[in-house]
Each structure stands twice: as C-alpha cells, then as structure tokens.
Structure 1
C-alpha cells in the first residue's frame, strides 16, 4: 500500500511531515505494467455464459423456471396459504383472549415454561440438529421422544421441515432459499408460510429421512401427534394434575405455541439481521446473544452456517445454548453419541479470515509509505549532490531510503541541529540505536518521508565500492 499526496492533504493532522516527491524518473522496469488486452468476441462470451448456466444449477433453474407473478392488492387472497395463515394469525388472538379471561395458577405457569422448552427442544435438538444436519446420533427412544415433542411445536413433520431447511443452507440468500433474508424481515419470519412461494425451493437430498422409520412414522401420524402434543396433552396434564383445564389449554397450549412459533421463526429472520459475522460475511447469517436467548441457543447463526454439522451453536462457556447442553446431557446418559465438532483449527481459520478482512478494511483508511518500486533510484554520490542543492530540502539517508525531513526538523524531539548534522549523510546507525533507538511511531513517520532509494543501500556499500570490493551489493526492497 502507498500513500497519495492528495489524500494526505485531507487528513486531519497538527504536524505536516510528508514531503513533495522528487522530480526524478522512476525506472521503467519498476513501473506498473498495464494488463494484457483480453478482447473477446461476442460469440466466445455467449459460449462462456452458456457453459456457466449449464454447470450452475441455481442459474439454470432461475432462468428456466420463472417465478409466479408478484402478490398485489388485487390477487393477494388467491396467494394466501389459508390453512397455515389461519393457524398462525388466529392463535395470538386466542392466546390474548385466554390471558384476559383465565385466572393465574402458578403450577400452570411453571408447566407452560417446561412445555415450551420441551417442544422447542423438539425443534432445535430434534428437527434441526439431529434430523436436518445429522450433527449427532441418537438412540431409538430419543429419536421418538424428539419427534413427538417436535410435533407439539406444530411446524410440520420432521421430513418436511428438514427438506426446507437443507434447501435454505444449500441456497442461502438466493431465490431458491425458501425463506431468503433478502426478501425482507417479514417474509423470512412468517411471510413465506402465510403466502404461497413464488417458486419452488431448490433441490435438497432427504433420502436418508425417507429411509428412517422413525421419521416416516411421525410423517404419517403428524396431524394426530401435533394436535395431541400441542393442545390435548397440556390441557389434560393441567386439568388432571391441579384442576386447571382452562389454563392448560390457553397458556400451556395456545400461548406456549405462539412463543415456540415465533422463537423458531426468529432463526430465519432475526438471526439473519441482528449481530456480527465473526466467521464469514458473504451471507446474511449473524451471531447475537439476544437471538440466542429467544431461540434456545440457535442465535449464533453465523457459526452455524459456516459449520452446519457441528452439534454446537455456541462455542464459549458463557454463550447461551441450552440445546447444546441438552445434547451433551443426552450423551452423558447414553441416549446420544458421535457428537460432531468441526476441527478447532478450521474454526480459527474462519476467525482469522474475518479479523484479517477487518484489519484490511481499517488499513484502507490509513495513508501508507511508498515502497522502493515507486521511488526513483539514485547513487550515493547523486544523493550527496542533491542534499547540497539550495531548494529548501533536507535529505537524510536511513536504511537505504532517502528521506526529505525538511517539514519535520522543527518538530524533532532531539532538536533541529542534530538532524541538520546528518543531511547528506547516512544516519542509519544513529537512527537504529546508535544515538537513539526510535520507537514504532518514529519508524512509521520516517517512512512517510521517503523520496528516493539509494542504489546499493547506503554509505557502507558506497565505501566498499570506492575501495574496490567486488562483493555484489544487496539491493533494498521494502
């Protein structure tokens, strides 16, 4: 990176220290070589495009399968998925009615929270990490338990849910993503469920789920299981347990379902908008504690999209991920095994890549010194002659570079007389500890004062040459 004089003029500084470039030619061999002419005929460009589309499933599908017409005020009622819309839009009003008409029973309150976590974990630990991503393996009893509680979240069967979620990961942020964040917060949160999709989701392989007898059992009996686990069972438990049938239905059933629905939906919406991207910023998934808090640990979504088959979403001990802790507990009691973790080295590469990217971005806001390839080259004798010219310049040679320190003399902490004594000389030893071992800031400021490169490096090489030494001098590259 190099500095640009015009850019430096716009920087706020109380100490002007960068000199004007020397009016000397830069060697032709060091100048930037223009790129080769890469003209292409129209026919070759079209051929390349055809080859690209042929081998690119997303591009081919988007080209050959146009989406449905947009939803407007005149056709919206035809495009509504009425069964799902009725469930999702009426349940909040039913819950509100229950809140205003049903008395509070503390046992029901505690049971509602427990039932919320159980059905929520059926989605996060079951549908998501076990069936969609195969992040761990579960015994037969645990598979059935997670499928039953997952049905209580009323989000479709595990087969249907996993098929859409695998498409989401494969085609993230494209039009083949069933709930692409690029279509807006409302769409990715709930709109994709209320309205018919404008196009079919991209292809996703779910043959493993078709062969899984537990998943197929739940798929065949989903409606019965969903009604039983979401409404009937919590009502009966509250009613038979402590006589609160009404609270069991409205709170543990309907209100709990509202929270489970929108908690899960936040993984598709909020987790793609709120937070940072410590592993990859090419797509929308983000990490944030708040999202993790409302999604049972699924909020560290940037990590999850980078390492989807890792059973964890949160890596650090203080990050909230109850789903990870439950899976670890399942392993402890013998219900789960083969918990998958991406190699720590690969995870660190992601962190390093993003940290490096941020540093590069920060670096682009900084003015940097010119390198040897962008400066004229002069001999030591020419340097001495230039330093004698009465043009207001004060040229000092340090570490093979000739610096114009005229703008800095009055600000030098060691006094102007000391710098004046080295004009036309090689001050490398003095600068590098012979008189004072300068700090990093001094090195950085000095580099900004470069105006030329001294051929062969400096005074020592010049003396060797004058005395007839035949060793090949080392050129300066920095």
Structure 2
C-alpha cells in the first residue's frame, strides 16, 4: 500500500503567527519608521524584551525544564514562566516535551518533531504550520513537569499570559512613552518576530552549518555566530552529546550569556545543583571523534599499513587513559564515602582525605593533559599522511 502524499491540514493560528506577523513587521515597521521614526527608548526596550524572552527560553524552558541541568528557586521559575510565555513558543510543558523527543530521536524523520533530516524549511518552522501530529498530546516523557505547579499554572493560563506579555506590556510602555503604535510595533511585533527566528535557527541552521568536534553521530553542529544570536545555544554539537550540562559554550571565551546568567543566579541563591560535565569526558569525546576521522582518512593514504599501525598505538594509549580515569573515579568516590564517615569521629581522617583528593585531582589533570597532547599528535599524523597522498 503506497504512502499518501496528501499534506496534513494547515494550522491557521500558527500560519497567522509565523507567516502573517513577519509579513506585517516587514511592511509596518519600515512604514512607521519612515513616517514617524523610532527613538532610543523604544529600541532599548525592544532589545531588553528580546533578551528577557530569549534567555527565559534558553535558561528556563531549555536548560532548566527540558534538561534539568540545574535546579531553580521558585522566584526564578516564575520569572522564566512569565517572560517565556512572552516569547510565544508555547507553554513550558509542550515545549519541553517536544524538545525531549527531539533529543531522544534526533534526525529520525518519523519521531523527531523537527527533524533536520526532513529539510531546512521543515526544521525551521514548517513543522509548526501543519498538523503533523494528531490526537491527544503525549506528555508521557514529562511527568516530572506535570508535578511542577509553576509549569502547570503557566500551561493552564498560557493564552492570557502571552497576550499580557506581547500586547499588554508594550501598550503600557507606549502609554508611558507617549507613542503607543510605535512602541507596539517595535517592542511588540518586531521583537517577537526576531526572537522567533533566532530560536528557530537552533532547530534548523544549527543542524546544517558548523563543525562537529564532539560527535558525528547526529547532525547537530557548533556555530559561534549562531551562539551569538541565540544567547549561547549555538554550541549545539556539544549540547547534543552533553545535554545535561548547564553550559553550552564550555570555554571562557565562548559567547554563552545563558550560562553566565545561571552561574550568577547560583551565586545569589536563585539556582543550585548546576551540572557540569567533567573535562576528561569532554576530552574523551573530542579525541574519540578525531580517531574516527583519522581512520577514514588514513584508509586512503599511501603506505596505509604503517599509518594504521601508528594510529592503533595511539588508540591503545587512549584506551589506557580511559581505563585509568575510570579507576581513579571509582577509587575517588569509594574513598570519599568511607573516609567521610570516619571523619565524623576523627579530624585527622578528614585531613588525610583532603590530601588524597588533591592527589587524585592531580592524576586526573595529568590524564587530561595526556589526552590533549594525543589530540595534537593525531592532528600532526593526519597532516603528514595528507602530504604524502598529494
């Protein structure tokens, strides 16, 4: 029996939001700007709303609720719930449930809600324009969120909240400023359209454009420009392999204002239990990907057997480093549990524990450095092999 080529029905309200509003912005914003102009007050508030909405999606909807990368104080949850509703990307419950399915079935055209394998347009916004999923929404992967009173309150009152944040607040700002229409067009309409497409870039462009240093098992990519536009979400290859890390940009110089915001919230008591992937695991992912690429390239090199022998020796060193790390981790946690129990009665045990933990940390650092050096040797090996094939 052949598959039906009939397209699912159009979702009219979504078509108005995702097609009608951008068209309105393209026409009305330039027209009003030429006729009446916009001032710095309106531009500054538009940027403020853009960041408040965007970082409530990245820091709240995404890293807090979808991935549970940290825990938040109720005050911070309510902040994200209100400003996230202003981003007009659905309720926390629906957004997070869809996103969890995306991670579980990434690139699977049948089960990934916005699978990049179905094309750039589909993953960017096409998936929201038609009824690709029918029946009652499936929140079986979000039972924890259904127990969260903030999430469920926002889900119940989502329409009222999004109207308040997208119409009510801009109108109040316009009344205060003395220009309701201009403020509504800039702070309400243009800001909303830009925020939508910045977020959609992660579902679409971040699966087509950029590098894959950590894993090639899926289409997600790291892209510094997209990270700048999306409050740090553009380091998408890293995120797809280490999704519970509260950071996306793990280097100090990588633009990730969401990470900095979460870290600041932790310092003032609004966030805790921030998850950080150990650096050794990051180095392991980088090196593992590099080995896969090296094997593919050296298969085609002249004097293939010699190069592959060298590569295998490096891989044995890599395996040995991993085994040492596992042993150190096991030893570290076993000693911590046992010695902390003893330390309750004897302070000397606690002092010895500190020295032993320092020694273990030193060994872990040595292993991390060894893996970095191995990455450099692999790069040099591939360059030499490439020169010989020319």
TM over 0.5: yes
Structure 1 residue runs of 4 or more that deviate by more than 2 Å after TM superposition: 66-71, 198-204
* Corresponding residue number in structure 2 for 1:211: 147
**Alpha-carbon spacing, 1:325–1:364, altered in 2? closer, same or farther (3 Å):** same
Deviation at 1:262, TM superposition (A): 0.5
The aligned residue for residue 299 of structure 1 is 234
Residues 69-468 of structure 1: matches in 2 within 5 Å? 69-71=4-6, 79-96=9-26, 97-102=28-33, 103-174=37-108, 175-197=110-132, 205-240=141-176, 242-368=177-303
Q: Secondary structure at the match of 1:113?
A: helix
**1:67–1:147 CA distance, 2 compared to 1 (3 A):** farther
Asked if 1 retains the 8 angstrom alpha-carbon contact of 2:11 and 2:129, the reply is yes
Shift, 1:119, TM fit = 0.6
C-alpha offsets along residues 162-190 of structure 1, whole Å, 9 cap, x if unaligned? 01000000111111000000000000000
1:422-459 Cα distance to aligned partner (Å, 9 max, x none): xxxxxxxxxxxxxxxxxxx9xx99xx9xxxxxxxxxxx
Asked which structure has the greater CA Rg, the reply is 1
Describe the shift of the 1:113–1:67 C-alpha distance in structure 2 as closer, same or farther (beyond 3 A): farther
Structure 1: which 5+ residue stretches go unaligned? 1-65, 372-440, 449-478
CA displacement at 1:204 relative to structure 2:
5.1
In the alignment, is the contact (CA less than 8 A) between 2:298 and 2:304 conserved in 1? no
Root-mean-square deviation over aligned CA pairs: 2.4
Contact 2:93–2:155 (CA under 8 A) maintained in structure 1 = yes
Question: Equivalents in 2 of 1:86, 1:231: separation in Å?
Answer: 16
**CA distance, structure 1, for counterparts of residue 30 and residue 305 of structure 2:** 70
Structure 1 CA distance, aligned partners of 2:248 and 2:131?
A: 31
Give the conservation status (yes or no) of the 8 Å contact 1:171–1:202.
no
Whether the aligned pair in 2 keeps the contact of 1:167 and 1:204 (CA below 8 Å) is: no
How far apart in 1 are the matches of 2:183 and 2:277?
42
- C-alpha separation between the residues in 2 aligned to 1:189 and 1:70? 21
Deviation at 1:198, TM superposition (A): 5.9
Q: Confirm or deny: 8 A CA contact 1:177 1:202 kept in the other structure.
A: no
Taking the aligned partners of 2:139 and 2:219, their CA distance within structure 1 comes to 21
How many equivalent pairs are there? 304
Deviation at 1:362, TM superposition (A): 2.5
- 2:260 & 2:160 partners in 1: Cα distance? 30
Contact (CA 8 Å) 1:166, 1:204: kept in 2 or not?
no
Give the deviation of 1:80 after TM superposition: 0.7
From the superposition, tell whether residues 358 and 86 of structure 1 become closer, same or farther in structure 2 (CA, over 3 Å). same
In the aligned structure 1, how far is the partner of 2:140 from the partner of 2:212?
26
Q: What is the alpha-carbon distance in structure 2 between the residues aligned to residue 263 and residue 197 of structure 1? A: 23
Q: Work out the CA distance in 1 between the residues paired with 2:57 and 2:24.
A: 23
